[in-house]
């Protein structure tokens, strides 16, 4: 068959010089699909108890699923900066959303691929504060973007498109593949969805898809942190404490006279009617109101009459959150399917790497929370599935620890581009070989900075190995937490001060020291950032 293949190559190579180059090199195309805040638990190839995602699952079954995939800083901008630089936040300079501005003059994945003959494009969420660099084509949301009829910055020009964000981003991706890319070059395409980011606005076609589903309350839904520490207790991301009637729960009017009334912040109270609903066409708005208004009236009635207790109401809020969140994911999954089908129908699937990931995980009610930021499992982890026909065996499962610093070197390796020395991640293509490498990392490093900030999650850094996790919270507190993940997978009992764990504390501090040395980070550097107000 090698002979047959070369015969075909010779035959084809006679057609055109350029064509010959392309076939000889066989450099893969890359389609990198990333959503925003997608917890692994809401992907059926990872879990399957909450929802079905047949198209994301297709990527895993035709390729590989990574069961231990972690981020170095669980928040949007920093995670995105990390994945395009292969470096932790303290090296790429993007420590926190809003405060930081990405320095687009530095070395990035799209730039290196472009310099090595790739046609590069990004559509959807960018969120790094500065103009994208390294892309032949970019068409991105300003800031976070909107779910309905969003604005896009099309290579510099702001254009409003009609429709639902997840569909539109995929339309732009397919449109670029069809009409705008240079077919003589291999390509790298980032497809970055807004969904399932807060405030979880489903497509009108999906509004009722989880009607009648009752999602079980996850562990520690009441948020008892007596055996954890101050950082968890003081965080502001509770389903009752923090979610708003308007923006999150989709009430256009809400009562102010109840005993347990919790007012919405001014920003949320304005944003939902004026911006989020305000962007809708009257047809979209009619379908929206038709769904939410009658259901909301019932909820208000129950509370007013006293038939619904506060506790029941909080549980109802969880159901609405999950229904909306999962419905936005259903659109993401449909659109992953559209893109996979496009690649197949156009003969591109054989030579294209397809990745599906998220910028970080998300709390789906664990500890009573939504949002991310903490180094606890639900948000330290992020989904990662990848296929590359002929190179990755279908049905591969990788349990080794991968991180978002590794995506860049991995993709560069597959593209045949040398990995620069200063990159902190390591290519994990070697884990997918017939003979996987044996000297892989067995611990991972983490550092979160965005405090003071939205949701009030304190600054912390730490390490995790197969069994233990050590975290140090600093700034306005100095608290250490140690969890034995084997005995306590939900991380509810901090054993840092337990006399039985003092040997482990010492071992994990050594793991922390070694990681900080390897990645050139330290408590002193963190304090320096703080004292000099560097973000």
Nearest Cα residue to 388 out of 340, 353, 362? 353
ω into 127 cis (within 30 of 0): no
> Which one of residues 27, 111, 455, 469 is an interface residue with ligand SGN (CB under 6 A)?
455
Residue 198 binding: pick among ligand SGN, Ca ion, none (C-beta 5-8 Å cut-off by kind): ligand SGN
- Strand 187-192, strand 29-35: pairing: parallel
Counting residues that bind ligand SGN (by CB under 6 A) gives: 15
Return the number of the residue (139 or 199) whose C-beta is nearest ligand SGN. Answer: 199
The answer to whether 186 touches 415, Cβ cutoff 8 Å, is yes
The whole-angstrom separation of Cα 371 and Cα 39 is: 10
Helix (H) / strand (E) containing 444: strand 443-448
The answer to whether 165 touches 148, Cβ cutoff 8 Å, is yes
The whole-angstrom separation of Cα 276 and Cα 324 is: 15
371 binds ligand SGN (CB under 6 A): yes
The answer to whether 67 touches 350, Cβ cutoff 8 Å, is no
In the complex, minimum distance from the CB of residue 283 to Ca ion, in angstroms, rounded to a whole number:
30
37 binds ligand SGN (CB under 6 A): yes
In the complex, minimum distance from the CB of residue 178 to ligand SGN, in angstroms, rounded to a whole number:
30
Secondary structure of residue 473 in the 3-state scheme: strand
Q: Mark out the alpha helices in 108-164 (DSSP H runs).
A: 109-115
Residue 516 binding: pick among Ca ion, ligand SGN, none (C-beta 5-8 Å cut-off by kind): none
Burial of 391 (0-12, 13-18, 19+ CB in 10 A): middle
Return the number of the residue (36 or 334) whose C-beta is nearest Ca ion. Answer: 36
247 binds ligand SGN (CB under 6 A): yes
**Residue linked to tokens 């591109």:** 348
In the complex, minimum distance from the CB of residue 21 to ligand SGN, in angstroms, rounded to a whole number:
40
Q: How far is the first Cα of the chain from the last one, in angstroms, to the nearest whole number?
A: 56
Nearest Cα residue to 185 out of 353, 391, 27? 27
Burial 37-47 (b: 16+ CB within 10 A, else e): bbbbbbbbbbe
> Which one of residues 199, 358, 382, 515 is an interface residue with ligand SGN (CB under 6 A)?
199
Site for ligand SGN in 321-340 (CB under 6 A): none
38 binds ligand SGN (CB under 6 A): no
Return the number of the residue (36 or 57) whose C-beta is nearest Ca ion. Answer: 36
In the complex, minimum distance from the CB of residue 76 to Ca ion, in angstroms, rounded to a whole number:
4
**Residue linked to tokens 């017939």:** 434
Return the number of the residue (76 or 482) whose C-beta is nearest Ca ion. Answer: 76
In the complex, minimum distance from the CB of residue 79 to ligand SGN, in angstroms, rounded to a whole number:
8
Residue 455 binding: pick among ligand SGN, Ca ion, none (C-beta 5-8 Å cut-off by kind): ligand SGN
Output the CA–CA distances (angstroms, integers) from residue 15 to 6, 10, 22, 476, in the order listed. 14, 9, 12, 68
* Part of the chain binding ligand SGN (CB under 6 A), chosen from 10-18, 192-200, 482-490, 507-515: 192-200
Return the number of the residue (77 or 218) whose C-beta is nearest ligand SGN. Answer: 77
197 binds ligand SGN (CB under 6 A): yes
Nearest Cα residue to 372 out of 83, 71, 66, 143? 71
In the complex, minimum distance from the CB of residue 197 to ligand SGN, in angstroms, rounded to a whole number:
6
Return the number of the residue (38 or 472) whose C-beta is nearest Ca ion. Answer: 38
Residues 413-452, one symbol each (x = binds ligand SGN by CB under 6 A, - = not), give ----------------------------------------
36 binds ligand SGN (CB under 6 A): yes
264 binds ligand SGN (CB under 6 A): no
* Part of the chain binding ligand SGN (CB under 6 A), chosen from 81-89, 195-203, 461-469, 477-485: 195-203
Give backbone dihedrals phi and psi of 483, rounded to 5 degrees, phi first: -120, 140
458 binds ligand SGN (CB under 6 A): no
Count CA atoms within 13 Å of residue 185 on its CB side: 17
In the complex, minimum distance from the CB of residue 244 to ligand SGN, in angstroms, rounded to a whole number:
8
What number of other Cβ atoms are within 10 A of residue 381's Cβ?
24
> Which one of residues 454, 465, 490, 522 is an interface residue with ligand SGN (CB under 6 A)?
454
Residue 454 binding: pick among ligand SGN, Ca ion, none (C-beta 5-8 Å cut-off by kind): ligand SGN
Angle at 35 between CA 31 and CA 36, to 5 degrees: 150
In the complex, minimum distance from the CB of residue 446 to ligand SGN, in angstroms, rounded to a whole number:
16
Site for ligand SGN in 73-92 (CB under 6 A): 75-76
The answer to whether 74 touches 360, Cβ cutoff 8 Å, is yes
- Per 3-state DSSP, the chain is made up of helix, strand and coil in percentages (nearest 5) of 40, 15, 45
In the complex, minimum distance from the CB of residue 358 to Ca ion, in angstroms, rounded to a whole number:
7
- The contact set with ligand SGN (CB under 6 A) reads 36-37, 75-76, 97, 127, 144, 197-199, 247, 268, 371, 454-455
């Amino acid at each position: 068959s090698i002979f047959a293949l070369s015969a075909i190559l010779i035959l084809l190579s006679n057609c055109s010089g350029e064509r010959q180059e392309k076939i000889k090199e066989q450099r893969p195309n890359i389609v990198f699909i990333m959503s925003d805040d997608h917890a692994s638990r809401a992907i059926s190839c990872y879990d399957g108890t909450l929802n079905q995602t047949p198209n994301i699952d297709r990527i895993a079954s035709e390729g590989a699923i990574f069961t231990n995939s972690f981020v170095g800083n669980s928040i949007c901008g920093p995670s995105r900066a990390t994945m395009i630089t292969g470096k932790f936040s303290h090296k790429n300079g993007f420590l926190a959303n809003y405060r930081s501005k990405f320095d687009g003059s530095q070395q990035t994945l799209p730039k290196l691929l472009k310099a090595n003959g790739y046609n590069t494009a990004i559509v959807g969420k960018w969120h790094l504060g500065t103009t994208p660099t390294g892309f032949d084509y970019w068409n991105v949301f300003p800031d976070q973007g909107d779910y309905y009829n969003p604005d896009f910055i099309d290579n510099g020009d702001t254009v409003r498109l009609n429709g639902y964000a997840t569909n539109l981003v995929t339309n732009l991706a397919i449109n670029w593949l069809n009409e705008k890319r240079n077919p003589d070059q291999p390509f790298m395409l980032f497809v970055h969805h807004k969904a399932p980011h807060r405030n979880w606005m489903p497509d009108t076609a999906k509004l009722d898809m989880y009607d009648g589903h009752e999602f079980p309350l996850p562990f520690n839904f009441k948020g008892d942190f007596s055996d954890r520490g101050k950082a968890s207790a003081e965080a502001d991301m509770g389903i009752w404490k923090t979610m708003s009637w308007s923006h999150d729960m989709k009430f256009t009017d809400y009562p102010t006279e109840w005993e347990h009334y919790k007012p919405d912040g001014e920003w949320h109270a304005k944003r939902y009617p004026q911006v989020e609903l305000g962007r809708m066409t009257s047809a979209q708005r009619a379908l929206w109101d038709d769904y939410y208004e009658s259901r909301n009236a019932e909820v208000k009635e129950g509370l007013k009459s006293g038939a619904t207790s506060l506790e029941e109401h909080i549980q109802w809020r969880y159901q609405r959150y999950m229904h909306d969140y999962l419905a936005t994911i259903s659109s993401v999954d449909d659109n992953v399917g559209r893109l996979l089908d496009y690649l197949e129908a156009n003969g591109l699937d054989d030579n294209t790497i397809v990745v599906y990931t998220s910028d970080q995980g998300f709390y789906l009610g664990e500890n009573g929370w939504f949002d991310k930021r903490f180094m606890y499992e639900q948000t330290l982890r992020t989904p990662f599935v990848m296929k590359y026909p002929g190179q990755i065996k279908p049905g591969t499962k990788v349990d080794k620890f991968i991180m978002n610093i590794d995506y860049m070197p991995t993709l560069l390796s597959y593209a045949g581009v040398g990995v620069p020395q200063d990159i902190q991640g390591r290519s994990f293509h070697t884990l997918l070989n017939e003979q996987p490498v044996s000297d892989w990392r067995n611990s991972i490093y983490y550092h979160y900075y965005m405090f003071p900030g939205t949701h009030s999650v304190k600054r912390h850094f730490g390490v995790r190995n197969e069994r233990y996790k050590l975290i140090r919270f600093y700034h306005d507190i100095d608290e250490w937490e140690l969890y034995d993940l084997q005995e306590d997978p939900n991380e509810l009992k901090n054993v840092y001060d337990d006399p039985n764990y003092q040997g482990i504390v010492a071992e994990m501090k050594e793991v922390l020291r070694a990681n900080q040395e390897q990645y050139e980070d330290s408590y002193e550097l963190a304090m320096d950032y703080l004292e000099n107000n560097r973000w």
